[in-house]
């Protein structure tokens, strides 16, 4: 049990003060700053993964691994965290969201999950979305914005949003919606992962389509090959999870996301985290959130 006085500090700070750390001979020296805060997306893209691999502290990974589970509910300023998580397809947004929720009381909202659930439950917006999908059309911005607004209206505390917005029109609609409620965004995080690393993840990716659960044969394999851990139903490898399709999807992503990064960079709430693996990026994300939660 940590001394009461240490509870007001971050989890990592508290662990660093524990005497048993000295007995493990962990050298907690100075570290390079591995998160890049910038109003320009080029600042984050120009960083190399190799530099971040050095900057991402192994010490912090050890600390996180040895820390007892502890869900942190309250932000330091008492204002709920309202955060977007951006990143290319396969950058690990879902993985990072899951890891964040193990320590911080933040509701994770995936736009894809919200869309699938509303279609399955045949809500008014879900029915309209299903009609678009059946015609082979993209689901309109109006429908997606309505789905996200309905979802956010059910959450009183902190949340992070994955997969939305995808373009400037959606970003402006989200801002207008949140500002009208007096609850503007206060954080946007961007995951920057080398494209060759993402491609290797995509090739080994298998999906449980009904739930959206994603597996990777190397770092997150199913317990039984080809079978979803929860339902026992078969997994699918998306036909477009191949190098040619991935390059096209990545070009589309950059065309849509570069303006988003510029848009959020102007409001000084954008922070980019760079790394070649989730284990390198997560300690950076943890430190970022650690500064905001008691």
Q: Which residues are catalytic?
A: 93, 166, 205, 238, 249
Write down the pLDDT at residue 252: 86
Surface-to-core class of residue 210, CB atoms within 10 Å of its CB (0-12 exposed, 13-18 middle, 19+ buried): exposed
Does residue 8 contact residue 72 with C-beta atoms inside 8 Å? Answer: no
Tokens encoding 291: 């500064």
Write down the pLDDT at residue 176: 95
Measure the CA–CA gap between 191 and 277, rounded to whole angstroms: 10
Write down the pLDDT at residue 26: 33
- Each residue of 38-61: pLDDT tens digit? 444 434 443 444 444 444 444 445
Write down the pLDDT at residue 48: 40
Tokens encoding 89: 């397809």
Query: Per the annotation, where are the binding residues for AMP?
Result: 111, 116, 137-139, 163-166, 170, 238, 249
CATH of 48-289, one of 3.90.1150.10, 1.10.287.3510, 3.40.50.300, 1.10.3720.10: 3.40.50.300
Measure the CA–CA gap between 44 and 235, rounded to whole angstroms: 35
Write down the pLDDT at residue 29: 35
Q: How many residues does the chain have?
A: 294
Query: Per the annotation, where are the binding residues?
Result: 90-95, 111, 116, 137-139, 163-166, 170, 205, 214-215, 238, 249, 278
pTM more than 0.75 = no
Write down the pLDDT at residue 120: 93
Q: Residue ranges per domain, the chain?
A: 48-289
Query: Per the annotation, where are the binding residues for GTP?
Result: 90-95, 205, 214-215, 278
What residue ranges of the chain have pLDDT lower than 70? 1-69
């Amino acid at each position: 049990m940590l001394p009461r006085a240490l509870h007001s500090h971050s989890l990592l700070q508290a662990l660093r003060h524990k005497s048993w750390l000295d007995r493990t001979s962990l050298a907690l020296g100075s570290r390079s700053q591995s998160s890049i805060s910038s109003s320009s997306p080029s600042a984050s893209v120009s960083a190399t993964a190799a530099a971040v691999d050095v900057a991402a502290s192994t010490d912090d990974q050890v600390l996180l691994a040895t820390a007892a589970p502890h869900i942190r509910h309250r932000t330091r300023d008492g204002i709920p965290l309202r955060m977007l998580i951006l990143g290319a397809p396969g950058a690990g947004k879902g993985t990072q969201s899951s890891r964040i929720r193990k320590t911080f009381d933040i509701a994770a909202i995936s736009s894809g999950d919200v869309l699938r659930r509303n279609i399955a439950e045949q809500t008014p917006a879900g029915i309209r979305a299903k009609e678009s999908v059946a015609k082979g059309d993209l689901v309109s911005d109006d429908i997606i914005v309505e789905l996200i607004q309905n979802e956010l209206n059910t959450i009183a505390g902190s949340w992070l949003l994955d997969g939305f917005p995808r373009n400037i029109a959606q970003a402006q609609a989200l801002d207008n919606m949140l500002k009208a409620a007096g609850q503007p965004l206060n954080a946007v995080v961007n995951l920057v992962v080398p494209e060759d690393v993402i491609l290797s993840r995509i090739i080994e990716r298998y999906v449980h389509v009904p739930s959206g659960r994603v597996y990777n044969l190397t770092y997150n394999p199913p317990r039984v090959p080809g079978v979803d851990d929860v339902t026992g139903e078969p997994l699918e490898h998306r036909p477009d999870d191949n190098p040619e399709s991935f390059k096209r999807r990545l070009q589309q992503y950059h065309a849509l996301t570069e303006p988003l990064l510029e848009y959020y960079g102007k409001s000084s709430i954008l922070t980019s985290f760079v790394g070649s693996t989730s284990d390198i990026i997560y300690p950076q994300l943890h430190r970022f959130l650690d500064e905001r939660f008691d």
